[in-house]
Chains A and B, each alone.
Chain A
Amino acid sequence: MMMDEQNIISGCLLHSRKAQKMLWEKYSAYLLGICLRYATDRSEAEDILQEAMLKIYFNIGDYSGIGSFKGWLRKVTVNCAITHYHKNLKHKHHMDIDDFVSLEIGDEGFEDDFYSSEELYIVLNDLPPGYRMVFNMYTIEGYKHREIAEMLNIDVNTSKSQYSRARAILRKKLEDLRKTKNKYTCEGDE
């Protein structure tokens, strides 16, 4: 496995078409999974993926060899998503009014196998782009609010408030989703 990764990297460094294909086969699903979290829909995710792949292919020399290759790929992809977000900011800078309505927040836990990844993607994709960016970067990528503020070129407090609003919206959506799901399952059971 390690050897395989090494071969891909050295092949891509020489711009070998075969190695590029192998890299695609091995990592494209993983990278698209990242892209989907940052996108509004699938086609946008694919756009981000394309930009990320080009970056990866032509800048593979930047990978220092220290740290996991997968981690590097993820970083490049997230950066591409951020760039993409900035590029399209002006087109998407609108929000539904009810997104701002403060929501009742229950503090219940969630069973992780209750929701499918598709459902979670849909919930994420429905978030306003700014919220989605902050939520993704904070929760999954593990960036600090200070770093997020720097990368997204926003205030630290904006990052924090967007994060908490994103959480609230997500929580409500998940609750709604559970209710409908439970309803159908109950009906189905009886």
Chain B
Amino acid sequence: MSDDKLNRMEDLFQKVLGEAEVTPGSEIAGKIMRTVGRKEFFRFNVSRFNIWYLGGIAVTCAFVGIMLFSDPGHKNSPEFPSGTMVSDSSELEKKNDTLIIIKEVKPVRPQEGDNSRGDTIDAGTAPHGTHKDSDIRPVSSKGTKRNAVSIPVVSSKEVSEGAYVLVAGIKASINRGCVPLYVKFASTSTSGASLEWNFGDGGTSDKESPEWVFDVAGVYKVALSAKDTNGREAVTSQDIVVLPKPKAAFDLLPENPVIPADEITFVNQSSGAVSYKWYFGDNSSSQLFAPTHKYNKQGKYDVALVAVSENGCTDSLSVQDTFTETECYIRFPNAFVPNRGGSVGGYYSRMTDNNNMIFHPVYSGIVDYNLKIYSKQGHLVFQSDDIYLGWDGYYHGKLCASGVYVWRAEGKFRNGESYVVSGDMTLVNY
């Protein structure tokens, strides 16, 4: 035991164990390498095969598959019937996360003695249009005659015989109609499945038989998804066509007609319609676009117009007591300014006399009329029995002087009442 071999304990450990090597067993090496390999597999790395490559290949395969199968499928089957079937092949769900892609239309023979299935598919939803025989075969030779024809859409996977089949089916009370369209839906899906309706206009429902009103015209794709407790899903959809409605509107000419005196023209202001039917309220009717009509006697008439669009949608407008008795009145102004350049005659139009050059009344419902105008000295300067003839301010070809004149009018209103009105007015001559 020489002195230089005597060490502190710490030095002993450091010397012996500091760089000590212990060869690990081969099984631990394998274990570590396997763990490393597993971790590497989930790590992105271009230089070795890993999950990213696997995923890329899977995505590419799926994409190519979809491209290959969906294209001819679209061309060959222009319309899908509403019954959609999904086969009970569990690999389908396991292998593809994506929804079942409907690729082919395949007939399914209804099971013998199983009426429930036959009933589930509505004959009315069978596809119209022509299909190639290779795509769709009738269910059976007799099947086409039966009411419950089932031509369901089946996924590309085969429906194994006797397999439990999840079906989503829509039965609509009406699939084409005018706005607002009230539709009663019913599900013909496999019972027990949880349903999810989407009405295509933002509305949804989970009822077995929802009712829905489409209040805007358009084509709506009503989709129904049925899910069973195993997480499988069948989807189907049906188009509901909501047709636009015309708008019925009309006007009268003249605006305030006198009945029975005036012949009335009904001005048609409807839109979106192609044919019309008028009801004049006196048991007569017309199908002209803008008819004229003369009533035999005064009375209350309800005029109605029904406008029909080219797809059969209708709108109507009914005006009750169309020709209301207008108020009878006559009123005179208190001043006027005659034309200084000469007599204008005195006939006026209510529409054009904006210069106030003719003294005349505003009135309604006058049948008898007489107007007399006197000067302050008591001279009769004008008189008229014609409601359309007013005074232009001239007397025997000479313009009368400015000043106050007195007038008096008498006559009869349409309703039989007579009137006598009088007053003064100022002739302004400057």
A in complex with B: yes
Q: Write the residues of chain A forming the contact surface with B, with a CB cutoff of 8 angstroms.
A: 14-17, 20-21, 24, 28-30, 32-33, 36-37, 46, 49-50, 53-54, 57-58, 108-113, 115, 117, 120-121, 124, 135, 139-140, 167, 170-171, 174
User: Distance (Å) between the CB of A36 and the closest chain B CB?
Assistant: 6
Q: What residues of chain B lie closer than 8 Å to A17, measured between beta carbons?
A: 37, 48
Known: A50-B28, A57-B36. A120 touches B13 (CB 8 A): yes
Decide: A54 and B6 in contact? CB cutoff 8 A.
no
Tell me, rounded to whole Å, the shortest Cβ–Cβ distance linking B2 to chain A. Answer: 9
A17-B48, A29-B22 are contacts. A46–B17 as well, Cβ < 8 Å? Answer: no
Assess whether B19 is in contact with A112, with CB atoms less than 8 Å apart: no
If A29-B24, A109-B7 are given as contacts, then 8 extra A-B residue pairs at C-beta distance below 8 Å, sorted by A number, are A32-B23, A33-B19, A58-B39, A110-B7, A111-B7, A112-B16, A139-B13, A171-B9
Contacting pair B10 A50 (CB below 8 A): no
B interface residue count range (under 10 / 10 to 19 / 20 to 34 / 35 or more): 35 or more
With an 8 A cutoff between CB atoms, is B112 at the interface? no
Q: A139-B10, A167-B9 are in contact. Are A20 and B29 (CB under 8 A)?
A: no
B36 pairs with A117, CB closer than 8 A? no
What residues on B are CB-neighbors of A32 within 8 Å?
A: 21-24
Contact status B9-A174, CB under 8 Å: yes
Q: Which of B5, B13, B45, B48 has the most CB of A within 10 A?
A: B13
On chain A, the residues within 8 Å of B36 by CB distance are 20, 53-54, 57
Query: Are A28 and B24 touching (Cβ within 8 A)?
Result: yes
Q: Are B18 and A140 in contact (CB under 8 A)?
A: yes
- Please encode chain B, from 21 to 36, with 1 for each CB lying within 8 Å of some chain A CB and 0 for all others: 1111100110111011
B47 — nearest CB in chain A belongs to which residue?
Answer: A14
What are the residues of chain A within 8 A of B18 when measuring CB–CB? 140
Select A115's contact among B16, B19, B39, beta carbons within 8 Å. B16
Near A by CB (< 8 A), chain B positions 213-272 give: none
**Counting chain A CB atoms within 10 Å of each CB, which of B8, B9, B35 scores highest?**
B9
- A15, B45: Cβ atoms closer than 8 Å: yes
- Given A20-B36, A54-B39, are A30 and B19 also a contact pair (CB < 8 Å)? yes
Report A55 CB to chain B, min CB distance, Å.
11
Neighbour of B23 across the interface among A29, A37, A108, CB < 8 A? A29
List the B side residues contacting A16 at CB < 8 Å: 47
Tell me the bound Cα distance from A145 to B352 in angstroms. Answer: 114
| Known contacts A36-B22, A46-B28; A120/B11 CB under 8 A | no
Which chain B residues lie closer than 8 Å to A58 at the CB level? 39, 43
Whole-angstrom CA separation of A58 from B32 in the bound complex: 13
- A–B pairs, 12, beta carbons within 8 Å: A14-B47, A21-B33, A28-B23, A53-B32, A54-B39, A108-B6, A109-B8, A110-B7, A115-B12, A120-B12, A121-B20, A124-B13
The A interface, classified by DSSP as helix, strand, loop or mixed, is helix
Q: B109 within 8 Å of A by Cβ?
A: no
Is the pair A15, B32 in contact by a Cβ cutoff of 8 Å? Answer: no
Does B115 reach chain A (CB closer than 8 Å)?
no
Q: What are the residues of chain A within 8 A of B206 when measuring CB–CB? A: none
Cβ of B37 to closest chain A Cβ, rounded Å: 8
> Which residue in A15, A49, A111, A139 is a CB contact (below 8 Å) of B47?
A15
B40 with A15: CB separation less than 8 A: yes
CB-defined contacts of B47 to chain A, threshold 8 Å: 14-16
Inter-chain contacts of B40 with A (CB < 8 A): 15
In the bound complex, what is the Cα–Cα distance between A53 and B6 (angstroms)?
37
CA distance A172 to B104 in the complex (A): 85
- Measured CA separation A21–B47 after assembly (Å): 16
Closest CB pairs A-B (n = 4): A109-B6, A29-B21, A33-B20, A110-B12
B20 with A117: CB separation less than 8 A: yes
- Which residue on B lies nearest to A28, using beta carbons? B24
CB distance from B23 to the nearest CB of A (A): 5
- Known pairs A14-B47, A15-B40, A111-B1; A140 contacts B29 (CB<8 A): no
Asked if residues B9 and A33 are in contact (CB atoms below 8 Å), the reply is no
Name the CB-closest residue of B to A45.
B22
Q: How far apart are the CA atoms of A49 and B22 in the complex, in Å?
A: 12
A27, closest chain B residue (CB): B21
Asked whether, in the complex, the Cβ of B12 is within 8 Å of the Cβ of A112, the reply is yes
Q: Is B28 a contact partner of A110 (Cβ separation < 8 A)?
A: no
How far is A175 from B116 in the complex, measured between Cα atoms in Å?
92
CA–CA, A25 to B11, complex, Å? 29
